[in-house]
Amino acid sequence: MNLANIRNFSIVAHIDHGKSTIADRIMLHAGAVTEREFHNQLLDSMDLERERGITIKASAVTMYVNYKGEKYMLNLIDTPGHVDFSYEVSRALTACEGALLVVDSAQGVEAQTVANAYLAINEDLEIIPVLNKIDLPAAMPETVIEELGNILGIGQEECIYVSAKSGKGVDDLIGAIIERLPAPEDHINDKLQAMVFDSHFDEYRGVICYLRVVSGSIKEGQKISFMSCGHSYTVTELGKFTPKMDKRKELGCGEVGYMIANIKSLSDVRVGDTITSLDEPAEEPLPGYEPPMQMVFSDFYPAQSSDYPKMKAAFERLALNDSSFTFFPQNSPALGFGFRCGFLGLLHMEIVQERLERENDIEVIQTSPSVSYEVLSTSGEIFKVDSPSQLPEKSEIEEFREPFVKLEIIMPKDYIGTVMQLAEQRRCVVGKTEYLGSNRVMMQFKAPLAEIVYDFYDILKGATRGYATMDYELLGFEKSDLVKIDILVNKVEVDALSTIVHRDSAETRGRKMITRLRQAIPRQQFEVPLQVAVGGKVIARETIKAYRKDVTSKLYGGDITRKMKVLKKQKEGKKRMKSVASVQIPQEAFKSVLKSGE
């Protein structure tokens, strides 16, 4: 294929603005699928993607179209829209020269629209703004164009109007892709450099690498090496997704496809690595990607301890196809053997949990999610803390730091007061405020990640009747007044319920937890105290009252001292029982207390 006739592009947008539907329509109009094969979410292969109506993994497809008498190759990379998966978006954009920025003409510019637009601008990509859903009765294209102009400086003449549902305007969009997006740079005669932008594991064929050839060409049977790890392999299969896997003998400069080379483990392939020829290696690798940063951590334990080996095997399978998910063995006196897992965000965690339960039939107990913290020790050493159990003694901590993010919220101006009040409750500091149009506002905040990563988005949606959208990016770690709260049951610390919170909310958070625990733990023959402690000092308490057997029921009449003697004997017995007994906490109690966002 002539290099001038290749176009590599991504589709980026806020979640639910129609990326996958537009991708489906482009494939149908380009002839990559027939009317008979056509269905919604063609590129979303996972069951969870179809059920939730979202894209989780980036996917690639190659199409061929005839335009003004010439044949063109269009390489499309469909990307997720949810904030948790912005890492997948940044990887996909690096393999492209252009991006379609899709905006819902009924909902207007949303938080992820702005975030993804800036990701594309930072990669120096050519952007084509696309107004989708123009056939809806609520569509307001003029207002949306005004918002695009105010934020990104995009004019009306640059926008393409489409309805992905009916196919209206898709031919114009394909024409704009060919005419307005640049072809790849000409490095045909240079040494081989191909970037790995994604990979997944196939049980029978090993690792399948998604790659973009930046210079030179790669051939079947060629000996190649990965420049960061130095591993070398022989290419056994090359091809393109059309959208089915279509074998090719060679992938040329500027092309996107897949490579199989008998790679046994996903850990041998690092996304962002550069593939080069073993015989004639390139002088230097391509600029890759930052490794994905886990934002949320949670412990997973099998409800039945006998399921531990089954859970370990399931996590290993999940990690094969998801390089941004990590897990490490963990042991808890209360819950037994389990794993400490790291995720990109709360949605990512939910998806992993659902896949674990659905695909492997394992019932899971999950601890309350926490974010990663930084601790500066008195010896001057800085280290990360993902779990309360990793915290050193208070005397060894010089400074406790928590992650802060830049939070952007877009909403109608009527809700400014409501959002300000909510932000204040979550320790957010107000930054700048921008008016996108006559009725819509974008507000920026500096926010602690721990306060917004759990239920903030749900509360925000409820407070603004569903009109507000949010996006955030990590700024770094800053000093904060944080404490570890411990939950004591019958004066014994339960490590699985420990958590790190800001000092101001320690009592409220702890009291909520022990109130739930009091309702979940069955009553005993003796009184059970539930306590919340910070640094050894008890700050809140609840009590589970004892069962009281009526030991005087057999006594009829007589002096009152007879009854008093029996009651005194019962009291001494309960006291003795309490001193030797331990309270068994049922699994249901952990489940009720360790609900996400509590």
Q: Which residue positions form the known binding site?
A: 16-21, 132-135
| Number of neighbours of residue 68 by Cβ within 10 angstroms | 8
How far is 113 from 127, CA to CA, in rounded Å?
Answer: 12
Quote the distance between the C-alpha of residue 304 and its chain's center. 27
Token pair of 216 as six digits: 């030179």
CA distances from 173 to 18, 46, 427, 450 (A): 14, 28, 44, 42
Backbone angles phi, psi at 99, to 5 degrees: -145, 140
How far is 450 from 597, CA to CA, in rounded Å?
Answer: 10
296: β partners: 343, 371
Token pair of 405 as six digits: 């993010």
Question: At which residue do the structure tokens 């897949």 appear?
Answer: 258
167 dihedral zone (left: phi>0; alpha: psi -120 to 50; beta): left
Q: How many residues are present in the chain? A: 598
| Number of neighbours of residue 554 by Cβ within 10 angstroms | 7
Cis, bond preceding 141 (omega within 30 deg of 0) = no
Taken in order 314, 317, 322, 326, the sign of the CA dihedral is positive
Rg (C-alpha) for the chain, rounded Å, is 29
Question: At which residue do the structure tokens 């204040």 appear?
Answer: 424
Binding-site residues for GTP sit at 16-21, 132-135
Residues near 485 by Cβ (< 8 Å), separated by ≥ 6? 498, 499, 500, 501, 506, 509, 510, 532, 533, 534
How far is 151 from 131, CA to CA, in rounded Å?
Answer: 15
3-state SS, one letter per residue, for 325-354: CEEEEEEECCCEEEEEEEECCHHHHHHHHH
| Number of neighbours of residue 564 by Cβ within 10 angstroms | 11
Token pair of 338 as six digits: 């389990």
How far is 179 from 7, CA to CA, in rounded Å?
Answer: 10
Helix (H) or strand (E) holding 245: strand 245-248
Pairing mode of beta strands 440-448, 429-435 = antiparallel
The secondary structure of residue 580, as a DSSP letter, is: H
